[in-house]
Structure 1
Amino acid sequence: MKTSLMCMECNIKQVIKLSKLLNISKEKQEVIIKKIFKELSEVSFEKSNPEIMGSITWKIITETTNNKNPYKEIKEYYNQALLDVFQDIKNVVLTSDDKFDTALKIAVIGNVIDFAARHKFDQNTVFEMIEKINEIDFVIDSRKELIDQLKNCKQLLYIGDNCGEIVLDKIFIEIIKELYPNIKIYFGVRGAPIINDVTTEDATQVKMDEVAIIISSGTMFPGTILEKSSDEFKKIFNTSDIVIAKGQGNYEGLSDIKRKGLFLMLLVKCSYIGDNIPAKVMDFILKENKLKS
């Protein structure tokens, strides 16, 4: 998915957020923003924003501040906050009329946790949305296609998105394993810290290895840029019967790839991405991204 002027705005807002978080001096802020403006002025809008964010904005910020993981403590906090209520949320799933559907919706609800998004949230937002889960529906709905393909699936790659929500992904994966015990499941993470995206460190904190094999993309992008991912990751992606890719960053990186079994699952948090889907901000999406027959 190509980038846009709105994406440029999000790059600059990330500088502002991190400047406040790290209490960066005005002098250093000026150095950072001038470097970023220079690079962004020359960037191709044919690239996706996750590629631009990782290769330019994030790289300049972290190198200038000498801090490669500025959200580390916040990420750990949200992972633990969701772990603390893991069983309570899982009980919502286990006592529901449709465990698969409820776990799927809860996994998407978790997508609200995003430090790069344009919307605002706090830790109670997730729980408030879960309380209203029966009111939630998918605007683009490939649930039937996903369930049909899971019945014959041998290998599934589930590509994670952000901290905190990874706990809700784990619940959904547990339900998939319970219903379809013969599927080999991989869980994809980023190759290095970027914003609040999931890394091996986050997956380890929530013990994702209990339900899936953790695999790194090998890249530092807030999304999946397949052509720049490691050979191992590309092999798993291409040989998996089903790929479930969570969140906007993965949507931006993978939406141009059309294949059976590629499911893009997200909560829309940006009107530019919403126009591309098409959908409205805060809509629930589960889209099989295959060629139209």
Structure 2
Amino acid sequence: MRTYLSCIPCFVRQTVEAIKMATKSKARQKEALRKVLLKLSTASFDRPPTEIGYAVHKIIKDITKNDDPYKKVKARDNQAAMKFYSYLKELIASSDDRLLVAAKLAIAGNIIDWAASPEFDVKDTIDEVITQPLTINHFAQFRNSLDEAETILYIADNAGEIVFDKVLLEELAHKKITFLVRSEPIINDATMEDAKFASINKLAKVETVKITAKGLNTTSNRFKHFVDEADMLISKGQANYEALSDMEGPIFFLLKVKCPLIADHIQAPLGAIVLKAGGEK
């Protein structure tokens, strides 16, 4: 995906939000905002939003001297999500199709996304998603791919959200799973620390991948190795969709549509829940 004009206000909102969490110094807040605005004024719209987002948040980190502005937010979201864990397990246990409900709950967790919006209601989203049909419904292909796959690469999205990923992973316990998180903090993306908090390491082999100036480093030998080793990929969230939507092969995108540009690209309305096979419409 490339960047659009409508992405710019979102980057500015993220900047104001992040600098307030990163430092109490008004001088550094203003300096960071000015430098981000300058960067945005020269950014190429031919580049993906994830690449520009990385540059924006690197400026914020460098000026505020805070490598993880969202650290407290992520800890809070992890704690809050864990309070729903028993409820999620009950919903799966009482369902007629455990895998379908687990997949939909994993999508519900995608509402915990500070890059898209700091305002979300997790409980309402859970209850809504349970009865909400998949707008893009490639669940049959998803189930078939799971039946045939022995190894799965699960590309995680956000802290808090990974508790919802956990209930899906538990339905795939008979598979060999690599769970991929970010190697360093960016916004509220999940890192190794978050994965261990949710005990993902007891269900899958947790590995890290770098976020670089080009966004998710899909061209690195490390990332290619994980892809080559997997029979099937599961990609969570909008940012990973932005980075991987052109990827060929057995990849499935699980996300809640929260951005008008994603809605246009994926051809689903805002608020839709999506389970999309790569290369399918």
The bucket for the TM-score relative to the shorter chain is over 0.9
The residue aligned with 2:193 is 201
Q: Please identify runs of 4+ aligned residues in structure 1 that moved more than 6 A.
A: none
Amino acid at match of 2:127: E
Runs of at least 5 residues in structure 1 that lack an aligned partner in the other structure = none
The residue aligned with 1:212 is 204
> What is the Cα-based RMSD across aligned positions, in Å?
1.9
Contact 1:258–1:291 under 8 Å retained in 2: no
Give a deviation string over 1:198-248, Cα, whole Å, max 9, x none.
011110111101111111112258963412x4x222211133111010000
SS in 2 for 1:37: helix
Give a deviation string over 1:23-71, Cα, whole Å, max 9, x none.
54443233112222222222222211111111x1000001101000111
Match status 1:140 vs 2:136:
yes
Equivalent-residue separation in structure 2 for 1:9 and 1:97 (angstroms): 43
Contact 1:111–1:266 under 8 Å retained in 2: yes
The residue aligned with 2:100 is 101
Shift of 1:86: 1.5
Runs of at least 5 residues in structure 2 that lack an aligned partner in the other structure = none
* Residue in structure 2 matching 1:272, options 257, 261, 264: 261
Equivalent-residue separation in structure 1 for 2:133 and 2:196 (angstroms): 31
The residue aligned with 1:38 is 38
Match status 1:117 vs 2:132:
no
* Residue in structure 1 matching 2:239, options 246, 249, 253: 249
Shift of 1:271: 0.5
The residue aligned with 1:6 is 6
Are the structure 2 counterparts of residues 117 and 129 from structure 1 closer, same or farther at C-alpha, using a change threshold of 3 Å? same
Amino acid at match of 1:251: Y
SS in 2 for 1:226: coil
Equivalent-residue separation in structure 1 for 2:119 and 2:39 (angstroms): 28
The residue aligned with 1:53 is 53
Amino acid at match of 2:51: E
Equivalent-residue separation in structure 1 for 2:213 and 2:84 (angstroms): 29
Deviates more, 1:265-274 or 1:71-80: 71-80
Query: What TM-score results when the alignment is normalised by the length of structure 2?
Result: 0.94
Equivalent-residue separation in structure 1 for 2:61 and 2:153 (angstroms): 30
Equivalent-residue separation in structure 1 for 2:208 and 2:11 (angstroms): 24
SS in 2 for 1:258: coil
Equivalent-residue separation in structure 1 for 2:195 and 2:66 (angstroms): 21
The residue aligned with 1:169 is 165
SS in 2 for 1:194: coil
Contact 1:156–1:243 under 8 Å retained in 2: yes
Contact 1:223–1:252 under 8 Å retained in 2: no
Equivalent-residue separation in structure 1 for 2:168 and 2:203 (angstroms): 10
Shift of 1:135: 2.1
Query: What TM-score results when the alignment is normalised by the length of structure 1?
Result: 0.90
Contact 1:191–1:220 under 8 Å retained in 2: no
Match status 1:224 vs 2:220:
no
SS in 2 for 1:265: strand
Match status 1:68 vs 2:67:
yes
Amino acid at match of 1:32: A
Amino acid at match of 2:116: A
Contact 1:223–1:249 under 8 Å retained in 2: no
Contact 2:78–2:194 under 8 Å retained in 1: yes
The residue aligned with 1:91 is 90
Match status 1:288 vs 2:280:
no
Deviates more, 1:212-221 or 1:234-243: 212-221
SS in 2 for 1:5: coil
The residue aligned with 2:15 is 15
Equivalent-residue separation in structure 2 for 1:283 and 1:291 (angstroms): 17
